[in-house]
Amino acid sequence: MSLFVSLFGGMLITAMLYGLSRRLRLSNFWSAVIAAAIPSVAYAAHVIATRPGLDVITLHLVTYPTVALLLYQLYGDKARHARAIHWVPKLLLGFFAVLTVLYGGFIYLAGHGLPPALAAWLLPGTSGRPVYTGFAGVVEHDRAAAKGIAQHRKMDDRLARLGWRLEISGLTDVRAERPVPVTVYVYDRHGRGVEGVEVRLATARPGQPAPPAVRLEGNGSAGYHATLAPMQSGSWVAYLSLHTADQGPVLLEHTLMVR
């Protein structure tokens, strides 16, 4: 489920639950409580299964009660409606509603980038070329990430000393919500296929921990094949590991864009 669907779809469900509760003649207070609680609890169960980032979780669990509170203020009991709501609470509620939409839009753009049609309209010179508009800064920023830069260089050097050359097929034109067949070819310095390599591949969002890797099965030559689970659109990182009986693991990363 994409961020756009979970955020704005959840806001719509919150409003619908509030309206349904009022039609069932529940009080304004309990209508707002039900409208905020049901989407929040449902999303909490979704979080346990998918484990998105903390910023995404916070956004959702703040947005649903905010919508319910806005409806509670605007559609109170008749006795309260007899007195006009002061403009200051209206201004504050409107400010937080706009802030929620703006924040949700930035989080969506960070991982997914602009839709291709919108990018072609806003950005010059995009005709016929792939444009990546996701936020480049959505990565880890800690001591482990700094050490990772040296580690990547070390792995590239180790691959060169082994004389291995890799070719990866299937990660250049990945489509959202579709299984991803991937083949990794391992050649030696003479162009012959290297057999007996344990090849594993995992994918994760930038800055997020990688899930358990999928093992690629060899086909008797240079190729190692597996089919990855469907991914949502946006920026992803593929983590590739190669291991043989007499050589330690070689760990590589590959950035990919899911359309």
Q: Which two tokens stand for residue 19?
A: 């309206």
Identify which has the larger pLDDT, 100 or 17. 17
Strand (E) or helix (H) holding 227: strand 223-228
Please give the pLDDT value at position 1: 62
Q: Residue 152 corresponds to which amino acid?
A: H
DSSP state letters, 160-220: HHHT-EEEEESSSSB-TTS-EEEEEEEE-TTSPBPPS-EEEEEEE-TTS---PPEEEEE-S
Measure the CA–CA gap between 53 and 10, rounded to whole angstroms.
18
Q: How is domain 143-258 classified at the CATH fold level?
A: Immunoglobulin-like (2.60.40)
What are the pLDDT digits (tens) for 195-250?
A: 888 889 999 887 677 778 889 888 766 689 999 988 887 788 888 888 877 766 78
Please give the pLDDT value at position 246: 72
What are the pLDDT digits (tens) for 233-245?
A: 778 888 888 887 7
Query: Coil, strand or helix: which one is 228?
Result: strand
Break the chain into its structural domains and give their ranges: 3-112, 143-258
Residue 77 has pLDDT above 90, yes or no: no
Q: What is the DSSP letter of 124?
A: T
* pTM for this entry: 0.45
